[in-house]
Structure 1
């Protein structure tokens, strides 16, 4: 879908003459992000993003977090965003070295399947962020209902439904895309073009973005009002401390949706401007500028698909400690396993002596295991609350 829309933009740009590039003898705009420089940014973002998504998946798979609803959304996002980043990096690398056309035209199945998966992940990501934002909204604004609505099973069902809907919206890639003149392009159809524009701007962009913005504003206002209320009417006991801790663990998740909105909106506005100017057939210089700025905004757009883990690590000390302890305990387990494998076997003695040695070994192993478990459990953090 992204390549289809880029093809439409390039076709429009070819109709603008070179004279419109010059204003007062200077190029406009005064910079362009293209070629290997653009590819370098894409590869850096993709590499860091995939590593971050893998770490986010590991963190959210912890036994203290995987039962919570928001961990399901973050794990689903980690898988979807990693697929998209790897596909975009592969696509832009092949495009830079003039091999993209050959790859897309290997077979009609490659042409259809590649574009279908890429378009589905583009559609899926903002709606998953919206689902995460809605989960936080319910937990903060309607805390009495969170045990019924914000559950792991409901989160899994919602993610599955959103994935199926995203695939259904992009099934057009399996129908209209074909190999023509050694290019993987959609068959020319005015209604198809309008549908692609409608889907890109409304279903993939403005509709989820506006909902994310409104829900985040209401959630932040509600948290601030709750904090102000607690400052005026402080009570003794652990309930207030628990509530404050819930707010602290909710803020990193709100930051994920806020930064998603910030990184996704520039390219969306640019594409909306291009399509509007194209339909009005006016202001060719503004259309040219929007087209030149698209690579820069696309780089910012792709940051969204690899930033979740880094936001969690930067905004919450509890998540940092939890990840550090998870990696430490995993390292201890591997070290103990390897040392046990290197331990020499005891020579065979009489049956009575062998039985006594075996019993003593079992007691030692149990005591060592219990001590190690106690160390990990004592130093571990409690699960961040829903």
Structure 2
């Protein structure tokens, strides 16, 4: 009996038991605390503040500010969609509503693509306006900018409507339920919808930087009297260009590694849910993918803080807004105190 049982237990394959690894513990902290709380909360606050500041009089008539306002709203929408995604995927709350699952995935995919294309259109518009300041005035008009934004919203909305057919709720878990749209074609189109605006952003920013340096050298030959009349407008435009270049660099740095890692690593490994794995190799792959996925969403949450670092006029406008709000708070108690004093003197 003993001779039969010994080889049975030694030669049998080990059970594939899932367990936590050090990398999995970090993933748990990263996704449930940093990713779900800090990114969403600070991203939502920052995007709404950006929209408020860029709607003020100083920036209101600028084409770049128009695109930045649209970018702030689309990024805020991504943060709102992440709230629904976190409840299903990260916190594993069972959602029995199929339409809720479909809407969440549609919002995230649609608005993330909208943000990419808005930034690409904004960079292209600024590169043309700076390179050809006189000729571009014929077609770079507010009406055309609104038309371009409408086309971006409509076409991307039509494409990502496939989420309403592809995703659904199975036993309270949101996942892919249909493969009517071939996955290979969908993956290829998704990559194209990211690479095209990324190419526009990189090439347009090179043109913007070269043209800005060239125009700055030419302005050194002008007299101070010719520059005095347009100093405020030029300062605002320079500030917007600096903000645009900064968020463009952040876009490339934060977003491109995600698609590069997704292309290199096997898809079956990078899509494993949960925080327990059979081998440490799977945990490492999951850690790498989780890190760059979070950075991709950070790109939609960090613009306000990048504006603060790079835009001098933006900081000035924010300071004026905060000062004005503080004055209102201090004026209300003073008025109440004066009213009570006058009432006492009258009664006396």
TM-score (normalised: structure 1): 0.70
Map residues 1-386 of structure 1 onto 2, 5 A cutoff: 31=23, 33-42=26-35, 43-99=37-93, 102-103=94-95, 106-180=96-170, 182-189=172-179, 191-203=181-193, 205-231=194-220, 233-239=221-227, 242=231, 245=235, 246-274=237-265, 291-333=286-328, 336=331, 343=339
Q: Distance in 2 between matches of 1:340 and 1:157?
A: 48
Q: How many residues align?
A: 311
1:329-381 per-residue CA deviation (whole Å, 9 max, x = no partner) reads 2443565567667847x99xxxxxxxxxxxxxxxxxxxxxxxxxxxxxxxxxx
Superposed displacement of residue 312, structure 1: 1.4
Superposed displacement of residue 60, structure 1: 0.7
Question: Do 2:39 and 2:298's aligned partners in 1 also have CA atoms closer than 8 Å?
Answer: yes
In structure 2, the CA distance between the partners of 1:260 and 1:165, relative to structure 1 (3 Å rule), is same
Question: Do 1:313 and 1:320's aligned partners in 2 also have CA atoms closer than 8 Å?
Answer: yes
Where 1:34 maps in the other structure, the secondary structure is: helix
Q: Distance in 2 between matches of 1:286 and 1:98?
A: 24
1:177-235 per-residue CA deviation (whole Å, 9 max, x = no partner) reads 334455433344375212321232111x211111211111121112222223444x444
1:279-308 per-residue CA deviation (whole Å, 9 max, x = no partner) reads xxxxxx999865541111112111111111
Question: Do 2:127 and 2:208's aligned partners in 1 also have CA atoms closer than 8 Å?
Answer: yes
Ranges in structure 2 where 5+ consecutive residues have no aligned partner: 1-13, 270-279, 344-348
Q: Distance in 2 between matches of 1:49 and 1:264?
A: 16
Question: Do 1:60 and 1:74's aligned partners in 2 also have CA atoms closer than 8 Å?
Answer: yes
Superposed displacement of residue 141, structure 1: 0.8
1:19-64 per-residue CA deviation (whole Å, 9 max, x = no partner) reads 9xxxxxxx9xx84541133321212122211111121111111122
Q: Distance in 2 between matches of 1:179 and 1:58?
A: 37
In structure 2, the CA distance between the partners of 1:227 and 1:287, relative to structure 1 (3 Å rule), is farther
Q: Distance in 2 between matches of 1:49 and 1:209?
A: 22
Question: Do 2:51 and 2:69's aligned partners in 1 also have CA atoms closer than 8 Å?
Answer: yes
In structure 2, the CA distance between the partners of 1:239 and 1:294, relative to structure 1 (3 Å rule), is same
Ranges in structure 1 where 5+ consecutive residues have no aligned partner: 1-16, 20-26, 279-284, 348-386
Where 1:143 maps in the other structure, the secondary structure is: coil
